[in-house]
Chain A
Amino acid sequence: MIWNALLLALREIRRNLMRSFLTILGIVIGVSAVITMVTLGNGATQAVSDQIASLGSNLLIIRPGQHLGPGRDSAGAAQFKVADAEALRNQVSGLAAVVPVSSKSVTLVAMSRNWSSGVTGTSRDWFATGKWQIAGGRIFNEAEERAGAAVCVIGDTIRRELFGGQDPVGQQIRVKQFSCEVIGLLASKGQSTMGNDQDDLVVMPLRTVQRRLTGSVDVATLMVSVRDDASMDTAKDQVTWLMRERRHIGPGDNDDFAVMDTRQIAETLSGTTKVMTGLLGAVAAVSLLVGGIGIMNIMLVSVTERTREIGIRLAIGALEREVLLQFLIEAVALASLGGIVGIVLATLASIGGAALMHVPYLFNPAINLLSFGFSAAIGVLFGYVPARRAARLDPIEALRHE
Chain B
Amino acid sequence: MSEALIVLSGVTRSFGSGAAAFQALRGVDLTIEEGDFVAIMGPSGSGKSSLMNILGCLDTPSGGSYRFRGLAVESLSRDQRAMLRRHALGFVFQGFNLLARTSAQENVELPLLYRGEPAARRHELARAALASVGLSGWEHHTPAELSGGQQQRVAIARALVTGPSLLLADEPTGNLDTERSREIMDLLAGLNREQGITVLMVTHEPDMADYAHRIVRLVDGRIASDMRKAAAPAEEGAR
Q: Which residues of A contact B58 (CB under 8 A)?
A: 315, 395-396
List chain B positions with a Cβ less than 8 A from chain A: 53, 56, 58-59, 78-79, 82-87, 89, 91, 93, 97-102, 106, 110-111, 113-116, 158
Q: Main SS of the interface on chain A?
A: helix
A249 beta carbon closer than 8 Å to chain B: no
Cα-based distance from A321 to B158 in the complex (angstroms): 22
Q: Is the CB of A322 within 8 A of B97?
A: no
Q: Which residues of A contact B97 (CB under 8 A)?
A: 308, 311-312, 315, 399
Task: For the complex formed, measure the closest distance between the CB of A383 and the CB atoms of chain B, giving whole angstroms.
Answer: 20
Known: A312-B97, A315-B58, A399-B97. A4 touches B83 (CB 8 A): no
List chain A positions with a Cβ less than 8 A from chain B: 1, 4, 7-8, 11, 15-16, 308-309, 311-322, 395-396, 399
14 A-B pairs in the complex with CB atoms less than 8 angstroms apart: A309-B100, A311-B97, A312-B98, A313-B110, A314-B82, A315-B56, A315-B85, A316-B86, A316-B111, A317-B111, A318-B82, A320-B78, A320-B82, A321-B79
Q: Is the CB of B82 within 8 A of A317?
A: yes
Cα-based distance from A396 to B97 in the complex (angstroms): 13
Q: Is the CB of A317 within 8 A of B99?
A: no
Cβ-closest chain B residue relative to A395: B58
Cβ-closest chain A residue relative to B86: A317
Known pairs A16-B101, A313-B114 / 6 extra A-B pairs, C-beta < 8 Å? A7-B113, A15-B102, A313-B110, A316-B91, A317-B111, A318-B82
Q: Which residues of A contact B100 (CB under 8 A)?
A: 309
Q: Which residues of B contact A7 (CB under 8 A)?
A: 113
Cβ-closest chain A residue relative to B142: A15
Q: Is the CB of A319 within 8 A of B79?
A: yes
Cβ-closest chain A residue relative to B53: A396
Q: Which residues of B contact A322 (CB under 8 A)?
A: 114
Cα-based distance from A16 to B102 in the complex (angstroms): 11
Cβ-closest chain A residue relative to B90: A316
Q: Which residues of A contact B78 (CB under 8 A)?
A: 320
Q: Is the CB of A396 within 8 A of B59?
A: yes
Cα-based distance from A263 to B85 in the complex (angstroms): 73
Q: Is the CB of A319 within 8 A of B99?
A: no
Q: Is the CB of B87 within 8 A of A317?
A: yes
Task: For the complex formed, measure the closest distance between the CB of B51 and the CB atoms of chain A, giving whole angstroms.
Answer: 13
Q: Is the CB of A4 within 8 A of B91?
A: no
Q: Which residues of B contact A321 (CB under 8 A)?
A: 79
Contact of A4 among B93, B101, B106, B113 (CB under 8 A): B113
Q: Which residues of A contact B111 (CB under 8 A)?
A: 316-317
Cα-based distance from A314 to B100 in the complex (angstroms): 16
Cα-based distance from A1 to B113 in the complex (angstroms): 9
Contact of B83 among A315, A319, A396 (CB under 8 A): A319
